Amino acid sequence: MVDIADIRKEYTQGRLDEETCAPDPITQFHAWFEQYRETNPPEPTIMTMASCDENGQPWQRILLLKGYDEQGFVFFTNYESNKGQQLAENGKAALHFFWINMERQVQIQGEVEKISREDAERYFHSRPRESQLGAWASAQSRPLQNRQQLEDKFAAVSEQFEGQDVPLPGYWGGYRIKPQRMEFWQGGAHRLHDRVEYNADGNGGWQKQRLNP
Ligand SMILES: Cc1cc2nc3c(=O)[nH]c(=O)nc-3n(C[C@H](O)[C@H](O)[C@H](O)COP(=O)(O)O)c2cc1C
């Protein structure tokens, strides 16, 4: 075994107090997200999304967060991808943000819904044309013979839609994760981290509590 057990670091950057956390987790997320953005990270909207297949096997992958509000957290993808099939089977998902330079993580658990076609159209057409064509070229998560097959498909769809707007593919759109639980974690010295959890109370409000690290 490669012994890396003595790689360790103390977390000393800040504290999180359940008393001063916002009453709702979206406001708290917004405050932390804005603070993170101010540090100019290379890809501020990056997050991990986990879903489960029909055997209960968890899968995860990096996605880009494209918007959030009280309704939930939105990302875009191919509805026929592995994640799309898993979400069709089991509508529960989790998001994870790790902001290492601030010694923070945020977890979100909840149920997904597809966003409206209208909202998907708006976002799809705001993307660079090549990315729109890429959505047509890629049968995401399905096997490919080789790289050339993908490039040939890209060239074919580029030709097909030449001189016209690229339409939104029927299999492409957005999901919204509607949070049931959110947790904010701030690293602390001696592994005495701060954790504040919010649970939806079922009436549109939130219960907030501190957790052991
Ligand atoms: C930085 C980064 C951003 C990504 N953003 C997205 C995204 O917004 N939507 C998406 O479908 N895949 C995105 N991907 C690719 C996914 O991680 C994943 O490979 C793909 O969605 C297929 O996942 P699946 O087979 O589990 O469905 C991104 C990957 C990286 C590394």
CA distance 33 to 30: 5
Reported confidence tier of residue 8, pLDDT bands at 50, 70, 90: very high
Note the pTM of the prediction, 2 decimals.
0.97
β-strand 104-114 against 172-186: which pairing, if any?
antiparallel
Question: DSSP secondary structure string, the chain?
Answer: ----TT------S----TTTS-SSHHHHHHHHHHHHHTT--SSTTEEEEEEE-TTS-EEEEEEE--EEETTEEEEEEETTSHHHHHHHH--EEEEEEEEGGGTEEEEEEEEEEEPPHHHHHHHHHHS-HHHHHHHHH--TTS--S-HHHHHHHHHHHHHHTTTSPPPPPTTEEEEEEEEEEEEEEE--GGG--EEEEEEE-SSS-EEEEEE--
- Taking residues 119-138, what's their average pLDDT? 98
pLDDT score, position 35? 98
Establish how many alpha carbons lie within 13 A of residue 93's alpha carbon, considering only the half-sphere containing its beta carbon. 30
Distance 63 CA to ligand 1 centre (A): 5
**Average of per-residue pLDDT across 172-177:** 98
Give mean pLDDT, residues 156-165: 98
Domain 25-128+166-211: CATH class, spelled out? mainly beta
pLDDT at residue number 79: 98
Confidence (pLDDT) at 71: 97
Q: What value does the mean pLDDT of the chain take?
A: 97
Ligand 1 residue neighbourhood (C-beta within 6 Å): 43, 46, 59, 61-64, 75-77, 81-83, 140-141
- For 8, 62, 113, 213, the CA distances from 75, given in Å and listed in that order, are 34, 11, 11, 30
Assess contact for 158 and 179: CB atoms under 8 A.
no
pLDDT digits (tens, 9 = 90+) for 16-57: 999 999 999 999 999 999 999 999 999 999 999 999 999 999
Query: Could you tell me the pLDDT band of residue 194, with boundaries at 50, 70 and 90?
Result: very high
Cβ atoms 46, 64 nearer than 8 A = yes
Find the 62 Cα to ligand 1 centroid distance in Å.
Answer: 5
The confidence band for 156, taking pLDDT boundaries of 50, 70 and 90, is very high
For the beta carbon of residue 12, count every other beta carbon within 10 angstroms. Answer: 10
Ligand 1 pocket: which of 47, 63, 142 to mutate (most atoms <8 Å of CB)? 63
pLDDT for res 46: 98
| pLDDT of 213 | 98
Report the C-alpha gap between 85 and 79 in whole angstroms: 7
104 C-alpha to ligand 1 centroid (Å):
22
Greatest distance between any 2 Cα atoms in the chain: 61
